[in-house]
Amino acid sequence: MNLYDQQLAELIKNALAEDIGDGDHSTLSSIPRAAKGKAVLKIKEQGILAGISVAEKIFRSMQPDSSFQAYKADGQTMEYGETAFEVEANVHTILQCERLVLNCMQRMSGIASLTRTYVDKLKDYPCKLLDTRKTTPNFRLLEKEAVRIGGGVNHRFGLFDMIMLKDNHIDYCGGIEKAIEKAYEYVQTIKPGLQIEVETRSLEDVKKVLAIGKINRIMLDNFSPELLREAIGIIQGQYETEASGGIDLTNIEAYAATGVDFISCGAVIHQARSLDLSLKALPNNP
């Protein structure tokens, strides 16, 4: 089992425990434990589908011998009235997993759909769309997976997998030069191989970073497209470049046209709207 599957299994376990508590009393009081059933996921809104593989894992985490038939795949366009999957399992399994499946898939599909809208804006440019750490606590795993499904690229997952020297690090440290030197020494002595990205807030900052070096990527934060183009001209491909701050669907193409390598946008997650999906029971044959 890889790290993603391990983290997903833990997420599912905790989410089911949160929802079920000491028992699903609605189901326990009305449905025999041995009852079997089928249900289908009905699509009620157009968009990009995400979370099919997660739904299958949710059902099988509770009942490994559940039968799960997917009719659509993650990343496909979905239309109103389509069926995404059919599940056959104990009725208790279906009812106890229903809300978690819908919560995950509705949220993920909303993020994947918004991400695809942003990515489509970049189709004529070489730059890539990145997500950020502006995520829901304990749900980052699936929010970032939804970005990937929508065609975006996952940035660092957390504080542990990359050094990013942002404005507060720089100000607390006493300047951009000191921050870079300390981070570089840390990588060399404690965490070899860890990449370093540094945030710049002006052309003066960019020039300071170029004079020091010892980093992997320069973030250009809250630059206008015109200033960004100037900064990229100064950097001349020596380091990867990332534009961030104030970028949305109305101006993302102007930023992409500057030649920047990456555009990071927290909005693809925190401004995404959950899409409408419904899990419906199939009546038993008489």
Residue 1 pLDDT = 75
- Given the residues 131, 199, 205, 242, the one annotated as active site: 199
Q: Residue 185: give the domain boundaries.
A: 119-270
Q: How many helices and strands in the chain, by DSSP H and E?
A: 11, 12
Q: Do 45 and 180 belong to one domain?
A: no
Q: Do 155 and 79 belong to one domain?
A: no
| Distance from C-alpha of 106 to C-alpha of 274, rounded to nearest angstrom | 5
86 CB burial (10 A radius; 0-12, 13-18, 19+): middle
Per-residue model confidence as pLDDT tens for the chain (286 residues): 799 999 999 999 999 999 999 999 999 999 999 999 999 999 999 999 999 999 999 999 999 999 999 999 999 999 999 999 999 999 999 999 999 999 999 999 999 999 999 999 999 999 999 999 999 999 999 999 999 999 999 999 999 999 999 999 999 999 999 999 999 999 999 999 999 999 999 999 999 999 999 999 999 999 999 999 999 999 999 999 999 999 999 999 999 999 999 999 999 999 999 999 999 999 775 4
The answer to whether the CB of 163 falls within 8 A of the CB of 183 is yes
Q: Name the nearest CA neighbour of 269 among 38, 94, 95, 115.
A: 115
- Given the residues 36, 44, 99, 191, the one annotated as active site: 99
Supply the CATH number for residue 48's domain: 3.90.1170.20
User: Which residue pairs, CB below 8 angstroms and at least 24 apart, start in 241-244?
Assistant: 241/217, 242/130, 242/197, 242/217, 242/218, 243/219, 244/132, 244/199, 244/219, 244/220
For residue 242, the surrounding DSSP H or E stretch is strand 240-244
Q: Do 160 and 238 belong to one domain?
A: yes
> Active site includes 124?
no
Q: Do 100 and 168 belong to one domain?
A: no
Which amino acid is residue 260, in one-letter code? V
Q: Do 256 and 136 belong to one domain?
A: yes
Supply the CATH number for residue 128's domain: 3.20.20.70
Q: Do 110 and 15 belong to one domain?
A: yes
Q: Do 67 and 203 belong to one domain?
A: no
Q: Do 90 and 139 belong to one domain?
A: no
- For tokens 């804006």, the residue is 121
> Active site includes 199?
yes
> Active site includes 19?
no
Q: Do 20 and 152 belong to one domain?
A: no
Residue 283 pLDDT = 78
User: What does pTM read for this prediction?
Assistant: 0.96
Q: What is the DSSP string of 81-105?
A: T-EEEEEEEEHHHHHHHHHHHHHHH
Q: Do 125 and 227 belong to one domain?
A: yes
> Active site includes 166?
yes
- Given the residues 166, 208, 217, 273, the one annotated as active site: 166
> Active site includes 134?
yes
| Distance from C-alpha of 167 to C-alpha of 1, rounded to nearest angstrom | 38
Q: How many CB atoms lie within 10 A of CB 267?
A: 17
Residue 286 pLDDT = 46
Say how many domains are in the chain.
Answer: 2
Q: Do 123 and 104 belong to one domain?
A: no
Task: Tell me the HSE value of 186 on the side-chain side, using a 13 A CA sphere.
Answer: 14
Residue 9 pLDDT = 97
Q: Do 187 and 97 belong to one domain?
A: no
148 CB burial (10 A radius; 0-12, 13-18, 19+): middle
| Contact partners, residue 76, CB within 8 Å, separation at least 6 | 48, 49
